[in-house]
Amino acid sequence: KVPFNVELCPLAADNIASLLAAKSGKSARALVLDLDNTLWGGVIGDDGLAGIRIGQNSAEGEAFVAFQNFVLGLRERGVVLAVCSKNTDAVAREPFRRHPDMLLKEEHIAVFQANWDDKATNIRAIAEKLGLGLESLSYVDDNPAERERVRRELPLVSTIEVGEDPSFFIDRVAGSGLFDHLPLNSDDLARANSYGGRAAVAEIRARVGNYEEYLKSLEMRMTISPFDEVGRPRIVQLINKSNQFNLTTRRYNEEDVRRMQGDPNFIGWQIRLDDKFAQHGTIGVVIVLKKGSEWEIDTWLQSCRVLERGVEQGLMNSLIEQAVSAGVVSIRGRYIPTERNAMVSDFYPRLGFDLAGTNGNGSVDFVCAISKYEPHPVSMNINLCV
């Protein structure tokens, strides 16, 4: 009754592991690409625009076109694209701007890192600009020495062994399993544009000295709305994938969320954020349990794509407004520490909560008296649809 030959066990195990990784949110979110002999044949700095090999005039050129088309397909599924090249920036960008057979264009690339620094340094810079951990990045380079250097310096980055023949690039990237996904929702599909917007925001922040002016320049719009049928798949996805900006890391399935949606004892909010660069989609989930005159925050999580923008301050202001309307006296919250959520250990104190006690499991309770809460200044328009 064994469904396949025992010699195929490693292949089956690899595929199962890829599916489990996708379900756990561990698929690669970004693909970092070398340029010379990876997206085209030849060296743009030496061969010039007319000398690089890409297009329908040779088998090699067709292979590079096919690989670019495959990469664009990944982007359409929400994979963020970045360039990491040892090159002069203007020279590296020339094929994207002027070569008629290039399928990839500059607007498809969220971060374009072309300079003479080593690849590992540039990949770190790419991760920082995108706001992603190194474990979320994958790397493709035809040069085995560069692959080995990145693999040694940045072991968390998934360096794909593509070889040097472009006709095998697609099979080896697809076969890595790094881009396997469960059914995608609209927010997944928009992720590439969202991270492109994040990189543009990072550039503006570097230019604008005053942080408040920088936030105002983004023209942010936050929408807070109750759980609904349309948003439920993304809500469940966030609850089960978010680990860093997550106060309790409690996990709920779709039936749990459906139950909360219809229960008057719960507040379930889904939070969307847009700015002048991108629609970031649903970036946060808040679940509050109503207990008479005291409310308890059960779940508070946010996407790390929108850190340090005042999202949590605006959300807490809105929650307090609702509590005042309902005659609530206080709101309680709990921080349950994990290996990955240390970044929110001071979340409640920063927002005006007082320490209420510690528990045997290491969790910490906080409380905020509604009468003592002082609203936080925010630099965004907030639309509370409740």
pLDDT averaged per 10 residues in sequence order, the chain, 386 residues = 85 81 75 96 89 89 96 90 93 94 93 91 91 90 90 93 94 88 58 61 61 84 96 92 92 95 95 87 95 96 85 97 96 94 94 95 96 95 92
Q: Write phi, then psi, for 302 (nearest 5 degrees).
A: -140, 150
Q: Which residue has the tokens 């300079």?
A: 115
Q: Do domains 6-175 and 218-384 have the same CATH topology?
A: no
Q: Write phi, then psi, for 175 (nearest 5 degrees).
A: -70, -15
Q: d(Cα 139, Cα 155) in Å, to the nearest integer?
A: 11
- Give yes or no for a contact between 170 and 70, defined as CB atoms under 8 angstroms apart: yes
**Strand 137-140, strand 364-369: pairing:** unpaired
CA dihedral 241, 171, 73, 272 (to 10 degrees): 10
Rounded to two decimals, the pTM is 0.59
pLDDT at 355: 96
- Give yes or no for a contact between 154 and 119, defined as CB atoms under 8 angstroms apart: no
Give all strands of the β-sheet with 137-140 in edge-to-edge order.
111-115, 80-86, 30-33, 137-140, 158-159
Q: What residue segments make up the domains of the chain, in order of their start? A: 6-175, 218-384
Q: Name the token pair of 134.
A: 């190194």
pLDDT at 116: 87
Q: d(Cα 128, Cα 108) in Å, to the nearest integer?
A: 19
pLDDT at 114: 93
Q: d(Cα 112, Cα 336) in Å, to the nearest integer?
A: 38
Containing H/E element for 383?
strand 380-384
pLDDT at 96: 96
Helix axis angle for 44-51 and 89-98, nearest 10°, is 20
Q: d(Cα 139, Cα 156) in Å, to the nearest integer?
A: 11
CATH code: domain 218-384 is 3.40.630.30
Q: d(Cα 171, Cα 205) in Å, to the nearest integer?
A: 39
Q: Own/partner pairs for 282-291, CB < 8 Å, 24+ apart? A: 282/187, 282/231, 282/234, 282/235, 282/238, 283/311, 284/238, 284/311, 284/315, 285/235, 285/238, 285/239, 285/242, 286/315, 286/319, 287/260, 288/319, 288/331, 289/265, 290/264, 290/265, 290/266, 290/326
Residue 85 bridge partners (DSSP): 114
Asked if CATH classification 3.40.50.1000 holds for the domain at 6-175, the reply, yes or no, is yes
